[in-house]
A and B are shown apart, each in its own frame.
Chain A
Amino acid sequence: MARYRLFLLILPAAIVFTAFFLLPLAQLFVIGAGGKDGIAAYAAIVTDRNYRASLVATVLLSGGVTLATLIISGIAGVFLTRNRFPFRPAVTAMLTFPLAFPGVVIGFMVIMLAGRQGLVGDVTQWVFGDKLVFAYSMAGLFMGYVYFSIPRTILTVMASAEKLDPKLEEAARSLGASPLRVVWDVIIPGLMPAFVAAGAICFATAMGAFGTAFTLATRINVLPMVIYTEFTDQANIAMAAALSFILGAITWLVLAVARTAAGSSVAAAG
């Protein structure tokens, strides 16, 4: 009886999951294996130098973006939670503003800042007599992704920082821990569940982000860009499908590993 009811409860989720996830994914997998190279298309991601390079670049970029975002948002989030000052709500609102933007707009903003006519270019031209332009490269993409990821990470960190018990920090300090030591031994472990949750979303978003890359330069060698090129320019649908499947699988794998690794610390913090 209980099991029967459980089945009923889980049914809607199961239908959605099957219709919008399992079936398309299976189809994607089949299409990926249906090209002229057959199943070998999946091997190309490691055997083909270009694909491999873009895969490595994408993972490194996403990892770097995640790390930078967590550090910036961690500090800002705890600061905003702990301090009351005039305009604090305004600052919080401003930091979370980019949530509303599509990738194209983020890309556009990066160009305005670090593009050929950008602010950074103008200032460096004036100070050093040399224009610094990095919008149309990995650096520009990195900046855009970090900018885009900070809002939701800050919100998650702030929600979690509210719940940190200040007594824990006081206990640690009374035992002789310096403020830095308290951050390391108490605050970071306390925020770990938030870091894992927000970091996972940040990493996955960066792995699949396309709009920003597309706005900045079509030559940037990240996997979503490569998939787009395979699909439109080369009309190599099978290869595009295979790469898509692998992009998804790798993202999922990294997240799963991160969750398991953090799992012990999260469970212990429960």
Chain B
Amino acid sequence: MGGARTQGAPDGTRMSGSDSDALRPVSVRLERCGKTFADGTKALEPLDLEIAAGETAVFLGPSGCGKTTTLRLIAGLEMPDPGGRVLFDGVDVTALPVEKRNVGLVFQSYALFPNMDVRGNVAYGLRVRGMAKPEREKRVDEMLAMMRIEALAHRRIDQLSGGQRQRVALARALAVRPRALLLDEPLTALDAKLRDALRVEIDALLRRLGITAIYVTHDQAEAMALGDRIVVMEHGRVAQAGTPREIYQAPATRFVAEFIGTMNRLAGRAEAGRFVTAAGAIPWPEAPAGAREILFRPEAVRLSADGETPHLAGAVISAFFMGDHTRLFVAAGEGAPLVVEAAARRHFARGDRVGLVVDPAGLLTLKDSA
């Protein structure tokens, strides 16, 4: 899980293209943008959201939570319900159709034009805008070089692999110097290895260009790695928006806590600097009075060393050898099993008794459970 990143790079480190009409990223703002579809489906509750210029915002959430719908509102492919407004750099663009908004779109399914070759695809937006041929050719060459697909310039689309297609789609979207780049699960259709490689590349590209980017995914590792800010969505609402670090370390709701990463949960009560559970007591000087439940990540708990007094006692339910560590599921107390990471060299069998030590710095409570 990657850590948070500073928001955008200082201006000096940003590449701004070789021409004078360099990318000028905009801030994007949604005001009370709800969306009810013609069939009555309420895809989005009215939501407010601000994405800073040059920022990479990742929309993360389970299937059907409204990520794509929000992206399409920003793109101008859908109109918000009456009362909602979309602003680019403070200017109301709600009434502008997609072709006038100058945003780049990248889809999971690539959506490349099959009747044009790679060059034709990348040149399309420039051709539509009536850019003169010499300039256009130069720009296309730049884009092909940037995405390292020069060798494919004259290929037909059906002669490309998935990864190559997505590179072409990125080159096509960026060729017109869009004010914002919108990506809807661009890597979901690719196999795991390629996905990682292209993700690293997209990350570097977005930082270098300093473009405002909005990236939709339901893969939290992808969200953590790419986002300056993550917008976690649930049922057409924003559950929490914050840096990856904030989202991971201080989830605002139970949904966010359980959707991102692995979260252990124990019921009990706070009492005289300790949190007492059915499996034992955890020393916790700052325990908030009245806490009924604590949450902690697997990295906040470890097996007790020989001679050390454990906080919790439990029994191994199952153990998975992961290569660099062993992942244990431990029954402790009444709730769901706790996930604990142990050293890889030790062997465990079902039913082994283990003692657990919890780091109080990693303990969380949620407002709704306090």
Contacts and interface: CB of A to CB of B under 8 A. Distances in A.
Interface of A: 165, 167-168, 170-178, 181, 185-186, 189-190, 192, 265, 268-270
Interface of B: 75, 77, 97-99, 101-105, 107, 109, 111-116, 124-125, 128-129, 156, 158, 169, 172-173, 176
B128 A269 contact: no
25 contacts: A167-B111, A168-B113, A170-B77, A170-B105, A171-B105, A171-B111, A171-B169, A171-B172, A172-B113, A172-B124, A174-B99, A174-B101, A174-B103, A174-B105, A174-B173, A175-B99, A175-B124, A175-B173, A175-B176, A185-B113, A189-B115, A190-B115, A268-B115, A268-B116, A269-B115
A165 B169 CA distance: 15
A170 B111 contact: yes
Nearest to B102: A176
A176 B127 CA distance: 10
B160 to A, nearest CB: 13
Contacts of A268: 114-116, 156
A175 B128 contact: yes
B129 A176 contact: yes
Contacts of A171: 105, 107, 111-113, 169, 172
A165 B111 contact: yes
A187 to B, nearest CB: 11
Contact of B125 (A176, A186, A270): A176
A172 B99 CA distance: 8
Contacts, number: 70
Nearest to A169: B111
A171 B169 CA distance: 9
A181 B158 CA distance: 23
B176 A270 contact: no
Contacts of B97: 173
A265 B115 contact: yes
A201 B325 CA distance: 68
A177 B130 CA distance: 11
B363 to A, nearest CB: 46
B111 A178 contact: no
B114 A174 contact: no
A192 B112 CA distance: 17
B125 A175 contact: yes
A178 B115 contact: no
Nearest to A168: B111
Given A174-B98, A175-B128, A189-B115, 16 more contacts: A165-B109, A167-B111, A170-B98, A171-B105, A173-B99, A174-B103, A174-B104, A175-B176, A176-B99, A176-B125, A176-B176, A185-B113, A189-B114, A190-B114, A192-B115, A269-B115
